[in-house]
Chains A and B, each alone.
Chain A
């Protein structure tokens, strides 16, 4: 899987989601935008993590789905708790997953930097 294929898959996925969202005719109520934002952060974090893992050859579908669902449940639970207590607890989720997105992205960047530094496929395979 190369970058182009990944990009293509991502775009297709985006379009499918868009269509589904519009077709469903449900909107996120204004008060629930916190939940939506946190969920989006969690998903982006998981996606970047998946790319990172794939590059490091540690990707597992099970790991991805479990990670995604688990994180979603955890983050949304935090939002519910914040709602009940009238305390902005969701900010913890935002901070963590926001940071996680950049951390995973940095990992991806590092991978490509390392790859470009090493010459030839043999050294690259050896390194891996």
Chain B
């Protein structure tokens, strides 16, 4: 059907309508959303949150695994550290660096009293009335054979290879000079150590004991419950400035 109206009004009206809609759409938006839009927005946000949740979950799991790994490694380290510490302690003890205390015996050796020596007269060699390095050494060896765990002489710790030698009226233990009376402390089985000297092999006191007794050399063995033996470093440090090890 051909009407007088042409394209002009149609064009005008159409464009007016279009731009009206556009300007309305461009205007500040109201808050209301159609049910469809709202649902779709909700669905999208739910989906986004779900993905976030699963991502965080994976991250949490990974971190949890890391934590467990670190804990396991830490546990390992601790066991190793404890083992090393144990070794160190043992070595220290063997080296005699640690102070120890426990039951054992205290042996006292001292030169015979002056009166006794004078009594005996000039017939006898005075040496027989004195305590010598070899006497101390013998006692120490007896104690060690009887299972002494630690030995000290006058507070000087005996460690592996400690030498005792004579130097006039004094004796040298390592390079420390000591004078009588000698107090030899030994930690171990008190009874065993006691018997080692006073019961010997056949139930009788050992030879050295008897010999020294004859000459009146002070030789006493006493069992004690709590003997304190210092570590080798304590005495060394007290006597000299530095020490090459």
Contacts and interface: CB of A to CB of B under 8 A. Distances in A.
Interface string B7-30: 111111111111111111101111
Contacts of A59: 6-7, 10
B36 A21 contact: no
A28 interface: yes
Contact of B15 (A17, A36, A64, A82): A17
B150 to A, nearest CB: 89
A95 B17 CA distance: 21
Chain B contact-residue range equals: 35 or more
Given A21-B27, A36-B25, A40-B22, A14 B15 contact: yes
A39 interface: yes
A44 B36 contact: no
Contacts of A39: 21
B52 to A, nearest CB: 24
B28 A27 contact: yes
B82 interface: no
Contact of A34 (B22, B31, B34): B34
A4 interface: no
B127 interface: no
Given A27-B28, A27-B29, A50 B7 contact: yes
Given A10-B15, A29-B30, A30-B30, A61 B36 contact: no
Contacts of B17: 17, 43
Nearest to B39: A86
Given A1-B6, A30-B37, A18 B32 contact: no
Given A34-B37, A86-B39, A28 B27 contact: yes
B202 interface: no
B38 interface: yes
Contacts of B11: 6, 9-10, 13, 47, 50-51
A27 B24 contact: yes
A33 B25 contact: yes
Nearest to A29: B30
A54 B15 CA distance: 16
A62 interface: yes
A37 B13 CA distance: 18
A122 interface: no
Contact of B18 (A17, A30, A61): A17
A61 B17 CA distance: 16
Contacts of A15: 19
A24 interface: yes
Contacts of A13: 11-16, 18-19
A88 B44 CA distance: 14
Interface of B: 1-3, 5-25, 27-40
Interface of A: 1, 5-6, 9-18, 20-22, 24-34, 36-37, 39-40, 43-44, 46-47, 50-51, 54, 59-65, 68, 82-84, 86-88
Task: Give 8 closest A-B pairs by Cβ, nearest first.
Answer: A13-B15, A21-B23, A17-B19, A31-B33, A27-B27, A61-B5, A29-B30, A31-B34
